[in-house]
Amino acid sequence: PMYMETSSAPTNIATIKYWGKADAKWNTPINDSVSVTLNQDDLKAVTTVAASSSFEKDRLWLNGEEEEGAAANKRFRACIDGVRALATAKKDADGKVLVTKEGWSRMKIHVSSYNTFPTAAGLASSAAGYAALVAALTLLFGAKEEFPGQLTTIARQGSGSACRSLDGGFVAWRKGGEKADWSDSLAEQVANEKHWPEIRAVIMVVSDAKKDTSSTAGMSTSVETSLLLKHRAETVVSKRMETIEKAFLAKDFETFGQLTMADSNQFHATCMDTYPPIFYMNDISNSIIRIIHAYNKWAGKIRAAYTFDAGPNAVLFTLDEYAVEVGALMLHYYPEFGENYVNNPDFGMKIKA
Ligand code: DP6
């Protein structure tokens, strides 16, 4: 027999960024981070997993194409083996055991995953991908956590940012490090998706080309060479975390927006401080920053806040009451954005966080 389950996970956008690993083996960060999980329906990965003792090896298909050698990939292995260690016996409706806990380890796993958005364009597709993989495996193996957040520690070993995509709303990744096995480096929901329904995310896909420096490689060079990154991890982030979590809970957009922009800017400054420097933003990204500051200055308060990950695409946070205005402002400067927004879901997406 073959057992099969499907699950999906949305991507998330960090407002305080993860950049730099403390431990490469466990994939743990040098500082805490926090993100907004986007709406399920708009940007997500959908993953189907199947288990059978007649499969010869573990295999993975991404958007329909097989990834050769996936069975030996460290990130993929960590997720399969990590969730399988928490497996429970599978029973039918009458309580008869179909697969024992040990039985799962005699089976090979086939995984097929689809993205609804451009891969590796700096839109954290790996976050949604590994979160969906862990979610689907959890259903397949009937996995039970031994402590709250344990599944996020497994997703984190797939991709760091993935640990923040297993929950909706505002989700913090606590860096951990008190425990030798890093089991305290896990994600925790700060506020659920119903807490602040007025907050909106507008995604501007400036380019859907694959980024030229992967996050993993980029952050490794930054840790080796950037003194600004060291300063940031040691003295800046913990205060920002406290303030932004309070701001989100109090629905204080002024503070939330100001810190989101400042932290995006500091992350890109650490990229510039990396030697040789890494440039993720382009001229369009920079002009979006200028427009947003001019707009907020005109309004006399923060109505929109930008943030950029490891790529040129902007994510703008705003509130329901300004969403149309922010859209119109962007269309004024970038009419092609609107056209593509209507015609091509890969270019511009307006979504509700
Ligand atoms: C800039 O989670 O992709 O998006 O752990 O090496 O897979 P790995 O890195 P990844 O890095 C994301 C970096 C970021 C900031 C963030 O999402 O916090």
**Burial state string for 84-97 with b = 16 or more CB within 10 A and e = fewer than 16:** bebbeebeeeeeee
| Ligand 1 midpoint to CA 16 (Å) | 11
- Cβ–Cβ under 8 Å, residues 342 and 110: no
Tens digits of residue pLDDT in 226-240: 999 999 999 999 999
At residue 351, does pLDDT exceed 80? no
Q: Rounded distance, CA 143 to CA 153, Å?
A: 14
Distance 107 CA to ligand 1 centre (A): 31
**Closest to 267 (Cα-Cα) out of 311, 211, 212, 206:** 311
Nearest CA to ligand 1 atom 14: 309
* pLDDT for res 213: 86
> How far, in Å, from the CA of 43 to the mean position of ligand 1?
17
Q: How close is the Cα of 88 to the center of ligand 1, in Å?
A: 31
The atom number, within ligand 1, closest to the CA of 126 reads 3
What is the Å distance from ligand 1's center to 89 Cα?
34
pLDDT surpassing 80 at residue 36: yes
Tokens 């996995």 map to which residue? 143
Report ipTM for this prediction. Answer: 0.99
Distances, alpha carbon 177 to alpha carbons 146, 171, 185, 335, in Å: 19, 19, 7, 48
Integer Cα distance of 178 and 261 in angstroms: 31
Q: Residues of the chain with pLDDT > 90: what percent?
A: 78
Nearest atom in ligand 1 to 161's CA: 2
Distance 171 CA to ligand 1 centre (A): 14
Going by alpha carbons, the residue nearest to atom 6 of ligand 1 is: 216
- pLDDT tens for each residue of 243-284: 999 999 999 999 999 999 999 999 999 999 999 999 999 999
> Would you say 324 and 308 are in contact if contact means Cβ atoms under 8 Å apart?
no
**pLDDT score for 338:** 60
What is the pLDDT at residue 124? 56
Cβ atoms of 127 and 134 within 8 Å: the answer is: no
Ligand 1 atom nearest the C-alpha of 156 is 5
Question: Residue 40: what pLDDT?
Answer: 58
* Mean pLDDT for the chain overall: 91
Substitution site in 215, 220, 241, 265 for ligand 1 pocket (most atoms within 8 Å of beta carbon): 215
**Taking 60 as the threshold, does the pLDDT of residue 120 lie above it?**
no
Residue 171 and residue 187 in contact, taking contact as beta carbons nearer than 8 Å: yes
- pTM comes to 0.94
Cα–Cα distance for residue pair 247/229, rounded to 1 Å: 24
Question: Which residue is closest in CA terms to ligand 1's atom 4?
Answer: 309
Is residue 352 over pLDDT 50? no
Please tell me the distance from the alpha carbon of residue 176 to that of residue 187, in angstroms, as a whole number.
Answer: 10
Query: Which residue among 18, 23, 164, 260 has the greatest number of ligand 1 atoms within 8 angstroms of its CB, and so is best to mutate?
Result: 18
Angle made by CA atoms 26, 276, 268, in degrees to the nearest 5: 70
| Residue 305: predicted pLDDT | 97
Ligand 1 center to 341 CA (angstroms): 26
DSSP of 52-120: ETT--S-EEEETTEE-TTGGG-HHHHHHHHHHHTT---EE-TTS-EEE-TGGGGGSEEEEEEEESS-TT
- Rounded Cα distance, 117 and 133, in Å: 17
CA of residue 161 to ligand 1 center, whole Å: 5
Residues with CB under 6 A from ligand 1: 14, 17-19, 27, 33, 124, 126, 159-161, 215-216, 309-310
Residue 103, pLDDT > 90, answer yes
Distance 304 CA to ligand 1 centre (A): 23
- pLDDT score recorded for residue 123: 63
Residues with Cβ within 8 Å of 120's Cβ and at least 6 positions away in sequence, in order, are: 126, 210, 211, 214
For range 27-41, the mean pLDDT: 90
Q: Let me know: does 28 contact 157? Beta carbons within 8 Å.
A: no
Report how far residue 280's alpha carbon sits from residue 18's, in angstroms, rounded to the nearest whole number. 15
Residue 41: predicted pLDDT: 66
Q: For residue 38, what pLDDT is reported?
A: 87
